[in-house]
């Protein structure tokens, strides 16, 4: 008769893995001394909320700060844990990705969080934005997210503040108070604005743009984005790595449908929805602007599109599809959001514990200083030249010269290795047919108007080009991607798009040629003009060169 062995009691705070092997009595007796019945992995108190974070920070790795500053490794881990808790983090966007980021930040030791989002909770958000419930519908995402996180993670002593407004409504002093910014935005325009804002906060050693940047004023931006089973995460150190503006060319153009197809021969349910939103609405609701955030407007568009689809024998018009078309919603998958959020928060922990900033970033920033580079090369040439002359005088042979050449080659190779050791600041994730990730360094765009310090230069015919032509040329420039540019010179404002009162005041300049404006002293050739646009928080610098009429392509020249 078999007797079941009584299981010994295992405390809840001890994690144990039992190893049960079905072996003969002889083999088990012979190996009993060398193979224990179970392995104790570790001890965790239910009251210790920082246990897992401390395990990570206690782990030896080549990226840890120098150990000589601490008496033991536990002291180092506690110091890094405190640093994470004191880091002020701004999370931009409380949507599907933003909710995941906020949760992971709270569970990773970050305690001082601020979330900013202008949107309100809708029923369609509930299936993937897990911080919200049905009774939250209609309330601000930022305020509800802060409320839920403060209640759910009260035992972690987190302090989450919600800011329900647009990014543009906050001035520079608001963004300057944070040490880290994590973006979960789905709008390219908003991401461009945030990227430019953080670059505008960076200070330099002198007033000229060529001065060396002050790394203490650089606020790292962790930017993430998802679309279906694809996603990306990247690190942006202002003026050190490539910025968001550098990668605009990698985004596909926004889907649009020809108006003739929409009006005459619709073939897709999307065509019917676009017709209802762009044409039917203006015909029946004259004077009223269509609001994609208004549930009544969206419902009207759905019903109108459904009638048109039935007339042309098109199926597939649903309320969900209508909402996706009018709001340009990008399909979201919860698992992709979780993966990208984990990548972003992992980088946030590394940055907050000096895993990156103290090594690579300083090295790259020093490389970017051309003045320092020239001075260092000059000193090397002087030292090598002096040593070579002394050695030739002493030995009277070419041995010293040969050694100097070999040493110079070694140093040049070291410089090349250093130049090629850029930070891998971009990771892409593909999960459609499997799991694939690729990490690489996203190169800086030499003519980037945000991070390269360049002036946009255009050669134009001042007699044939009016101010209106110039503004249209700027708006059509694919490298600038401006939406509604205004322009001013040292003499004053040339044209403002808004408010309407000021626009009417300067409208008379639109029809005037640049030659005419120049003769009146409103602008001059090669003068640095300032172009502002709602898409960017800072001005774009423009220099005009008068000459024969060209195709209007922009040239970029370094700032002098």
Where do the domains of the chain lie?
87-251+334-355, 259-326, 454-558
Predicted pLDDT at 375? 52
| CA-based nearest residue to 425, from 203, 551, 178, 236 | 236
Q: Which two tokens stand for residue 392?
A: 């030739």
Q: How far is CA 478 from CA 501, 534, 553, in A?
A: 30, 16, 10
- Residues with a known catalytic role: 260
What value does the mean pLDDT take over residues 377-401? 53
Q: How far is CA 449 from CA 120, 204, 241, 297, 299, in A?
A: 34, 17, 14, 39, 42
On whether the CB atoms of residues 292 and 327 are closer than 8 A, the answer is yes
Cβ neighbors of 404 (< 8 A, separation 6 or more) are: 384, 387, 388, 391
Q: Which two tokens stand for residue 509?
A: 């300049």
**261-287: per-residue pLDDT in tens?**
677 778 889 899 988 988 888 888 887
On whether the CB atoms of residues 144 and 93 are closer than 8 A, the answer is no
Residue % of the chain over a pLDDT of 90: 29
The pairing of strands 486-489 and 528-533 is antiparallel
| CA-based nearest residue to 199, from 232, 162, 246 | 246
- Please give the backbone phi and psi of residue 4, each rounded to the nearest 5 degrees, phi first: -70, 130
**466-514: per-residue pLDDT in tens?**
888 888 888 878 777 788 888 888 888 888 887 777 788 888 888 888 8
The pLDDT confidence band at residue 27, using thresholds 50, 70 and 90, is very low
- Please give the backbone phi and psi of residue 235, each rounded to the nearest 5 degrees, phi first: -110, 130
Segment (H or E) for 456: strand 454-460
Predicted pLDDT at 198? 93
SS3 52: helix
Predicted pLDDT at 384? 52
Domain 259-326 in CATH 1.10.10.520: yes
Predicted pLDDT at 501? 77
Ranges of H-type helices in 201-318:
259-264, 269-275, 281-284, 295-311
Q: Which CATH code for domain 87-251+334-355?
A: 3.40.50.720
Predicted pLDDT at 259? 64
The pLDDT confidence band at residue 136, using thresholds 50, 70 and 90, is very high
Residue % of the chain over a pLDDT of 70: 71
With left for phi above 0 and alpha for psi between -120 and 50, is residue 46 left, alpha or beta? Answer: alpha
Q: Give the separation between CA 4 and CA 363, rounded to whole angstroms.
A: 65
Predicted pLDDT at 145? 96
Instruction: Give one DSSP letter per residue of 350-387, joined into a string.
Output: HHHTTSSIIIIIHHHHHHH-HHHHHHHHHHHHHHHHHH
Place of tokens 């030995």: 395
Predicted pLDDT at 560? 32
Q: Which two tokens stand for residue 318?
A: 């649903």
**311-344: per-residue pLDDT in tens?**
899 998 998 888 888 877 777 789 999 999 999 9
Q: Tell me the torsion sign for CA atoms 39, 43, 49, 54.
A: negative
Beta partners for 42? 15
pLDDT, averaged across the chain:
77
Tell me which range, 211-215, 298-302, 358-362, is most confidently predicted by mean pLDDT. Answer: 298-302
Q: Which CATH code for domain 454-558?
A: 3.10.290.20
For residues 506 and 535, the model is more confident at 506
**285-319: per-residue pLDDT in tens?**
887 888 887 889 999 999 999 999 998 999 989 98
pTM: 0.68
On whether the CB atoms of residues 91 and 107 are closer than 8 A, the answer is no
Residue 132 has pLDDT above 90, yes or no: yes
Predicted pLDDT at 191? 92
């Amino acid at each position: 008769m078999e007797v079941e062995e009584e299981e010994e009691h295992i405390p809840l705070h001890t994690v144990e893995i039992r190893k049960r092997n079905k072996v003969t009595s002889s083999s088990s007796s012979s190996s009993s001394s060398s193979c224990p019945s179970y392995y104790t992995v570790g001890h965790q108190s239910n009251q210790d909320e920082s246990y897992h974070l401390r395990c990570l920070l206690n782990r030896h790795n080549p990226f840890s700060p120098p150990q000589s500053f601490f008496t033991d490794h536990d002291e180092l881990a506690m110091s890094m844990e405190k640093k994470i808790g004191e880091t002020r983090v701004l999370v931009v966007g409380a949507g599907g990705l933003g909710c995941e980021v906020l949760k992971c930040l709270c569970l990773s030791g970050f305690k001082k969080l601020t979330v900013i989002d202008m949107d309100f909770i809708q029923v369609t958000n509930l299936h993937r934005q897990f911080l919200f419930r049905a009774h939250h519908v209609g309330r601000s995402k930022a305020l509800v997210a802060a409320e839920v996180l403060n209640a759910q993670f009260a035992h972690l002593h987190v302090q989450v503040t919600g800011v329900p407004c647009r990014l543009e409504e906050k001035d520079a002093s608001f963004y300057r108070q944070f040490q880290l910014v994590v973006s979960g935005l789905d709008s390219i325009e908003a991401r461009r604005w945030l990227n430019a804002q953080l670059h505008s906060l960076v200070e330099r050693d002198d007033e000229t743009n060529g001065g060396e940047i002050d790394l203490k004023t650089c606020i790292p931006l962790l930017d993430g984005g998802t679309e279906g089973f694809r996603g990306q995460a990247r690190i942006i150190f202002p003026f050190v790595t490539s910025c968001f503006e550098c990668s605009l060319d990698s985004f596909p153009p926004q889907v649009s449908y020809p108006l003739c197809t929409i009006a005459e021969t619709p073939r897709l349910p999307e065509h019917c929805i676009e017709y209802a939103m762009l044409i039917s609405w203006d015909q029946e609701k004259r004077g009223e602007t269509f609001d994609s955030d208004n549930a009544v407007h969206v419902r009207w568009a759905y019903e109108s599109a459904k009638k048109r689809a039935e007339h042309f024998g098109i199926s597939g018009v649903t309320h969900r599809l209508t909402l996706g078309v009018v709001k340009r919603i990008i399909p979201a998958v919860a698992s992709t959001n979780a993966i990208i959020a984990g990548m972003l928060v992992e980088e946030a922990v590394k940055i907050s514990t000096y895993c990156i900033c103290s090594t690579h970033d300083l090295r790259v920033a020093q490389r970017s200083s051309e003045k320092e580079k020239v001075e260092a090369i000059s000193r090397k040439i002087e030292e090598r030249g002096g040593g070579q002359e002394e050695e030739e005088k002493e030995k009277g042979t070419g041995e010293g010269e040969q050694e100097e050449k070999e040493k110079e080659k070694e140093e040049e190779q070291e410089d090349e290795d250093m130049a090629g050791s850029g930070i891998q600041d971009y990771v892409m994730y593909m999960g459609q047919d499997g799991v694939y990730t690729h990490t690489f360094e996203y190169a800086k765009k030499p003519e980037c108007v945000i991070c390269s310090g360049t002036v946009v230069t255009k050669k134009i015919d001042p007699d044939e080009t009016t101010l209106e032509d110039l503004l249209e040329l700027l708006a059509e420039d694919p490298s600038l991607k401006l939406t509604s540019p205004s322009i001013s010179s040292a003499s004053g404002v040339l044209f403002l798009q808004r408010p309407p009162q000021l626009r009417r005041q300067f409208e008379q300049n639109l029809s005037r040629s640049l030659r005419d404006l120049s003769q009146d002293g409103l602008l001059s050739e090669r003068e640095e003009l300032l172009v502002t646009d709602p898409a960017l928080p800072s001005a774009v610098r423009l220099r005009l060169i008068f000459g024969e009429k060209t195709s209007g392509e922009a040239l970029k020249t370094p700032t002098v």
